[in-house]
Amino acid sequence: MTTQPPADATALADLVATGAASPEELLDEALARVAAVNPKLNAVVNLQEDVARKAISDGLPEGPFRGVPFLLKDLGAEAIDFPSHNGSRLHKNTRYTCDSEIYARMRATGVVTFGRTTSPEGGIGPVTEAAVYGGPTRNPWDLSRTSGGSSGGAGAAVAAGIVPLAHGSDGGGSVRIPASSSGLFGFKATRARFPDGPAAGEGWAGMAIDGFLSRSVRDNARMMDACAGPESGAPYAAPEMPTSYADAIKLPPPRLRILVCDTTFGGEVIDPECRAAVETAAKLLESLGHSVTPGRPKADHAGMMQAWTRIVACGTALGIKSALAAKNRELREDDVEGISRGAMEFAAGISGADYLAAVGRIHAYGREMAAAFSECDIILSATLAEPPAKIGRFTHDRTDFEPYRVGPDGVFAYSPFCATFNASGQPAASVPLHWTSDNLPVGVHLAAPFGDDATLIALCAEIEQAAPWAHRTPPLFAG
């Protein structure tokens, strides 16, 4: 463990701005860190060093992260200069003809993007073990465990000190699960806060959104400010924020009514370490003057997850069929992994009416969760029901997609909190406040009403100041 917190992206940008470091030097250091730890982690792929060096020589934008090394998730974030495998052998070495709007906004901050980070095939798991990368992505806190998914490579890369900030995305917890598993801060913004185009109008019926993994709250706030706002032609937009993310964290929020859930939202028992994390966080918030009340949000959580599973299966099937149509061929045995085949088979039994009914169930659930905030301002829970899973527990070799998601030992039992707020569209964050006796990180989950991102991130910043975490580094750390 280091005695001083590693520099975050804001601090590195300050070094560049003052001339204490150059973008070239920071890139050299990031590449050296990849060489040092990536063979054990398998987190960084598709390195594009020449592209990064050309961006520096051409002149970087004068943004808040000018000169800071940066990585894109290997799923979405289409960029001409950064081919992608999208976690799948079917999509291996996909080239893009245009830049996504989210990438253009990230690039305008001045970051020096030099590669991508691993993701599970289709982004449909809480782990990152895609066959296209030749092996699992491992957790720098414990190499026998997962760094999470689907932004597992991003979580591992930031936790291990390769970069201070990385792009991710979140359709069922895919930013917050790696944040919890890797001891980082992850924020899922209100639905449609960031652009999806031009390749798509929405992801998974509006449940998926881009996001970022970081050590500090301020880094996340500044990058989200740079990326927020709909692009031209977007099908819908998030409510306008009363203040920017960066301005929101300058002052503590008002004293809030916090509903504390130390079980799953359905009342099932969670791991003692996760429960301890919730209890510690509740005591901290109470000491800060917030009103803390035990309880659970009342909504049809099981029905939501069934609907979520149907929507994601259809989205997975569409992605595979679209890729095959572009290649003008049929599916081959080694194109996709078992769980993707299972998703296709499951989706084949879902009619158009069934799909629309699932979307309707998600919309109804959003109203139920809106009502849950009528008597509280924040819902506090664990991020996961257990500490980070062992490698292989959620392997994609299996084909039983529905049990994989909603079975008694499935993904929803392991991660029962995160998908709630993808379905409701409400903002949510994972904050690293607890470590187990085995030195494994356990995240605490905070969620706010639809559109109230400013209050949520202000609370996260207040927690960060009261109980700092950035000084904690994993055994495998290159920083």
Domain ranges of the chain: 9-466
Residue 390 pLDDT: 98
Beta-carbon count within 10 A of 296 CB: 18
This prediction has a pTM of: 0.98
* In contact, 81 and 51? CB cutoff 8 Å: yes
| 3-class SS of residue 362 | helix
**Distance between CA atoms of residues 158 and 163, nearest Å:** 5
Q: Which residues are catalytic?
A: 73, 150, 174
Residue 54 pLDDT: 98
CATH of domain 9-466: 3.90.1300.10
Residue 2 pLDDT: 44
Residue 479 pLDDT: 76
| Segment-wise mean pLDDT, segments of 10 residues, the chain, 479 residues | 78 98 98 98 98 98 98 98 97 97 98 98 96 97 98 98 98 98 98 96 96 98 98 95 98 97 98 98 98 98 98 97 96 96 98 98 98 98 98 96 97 98 98 98 98 98 98 95
Cα-Cα-Cα-Cα torsion 467, 159, 274, 289, nearest 10 degrees, comes to 20
Alpha carbon 48 to chain centroid distance? 23
SS (H, E, C) 18-49: HCCCCHHHHHHHHHHHHHHHHHHHCCEECCCH
| 3-class SS of residue 292 | strand
Residue 212 pLDDT: 98
**Distance between CA atoms of residues 65 and 52, nearest Å:** 14
Average model confidence (pLDDT) for the chain? Answer: 97
Residue 3 pLDDT: 54
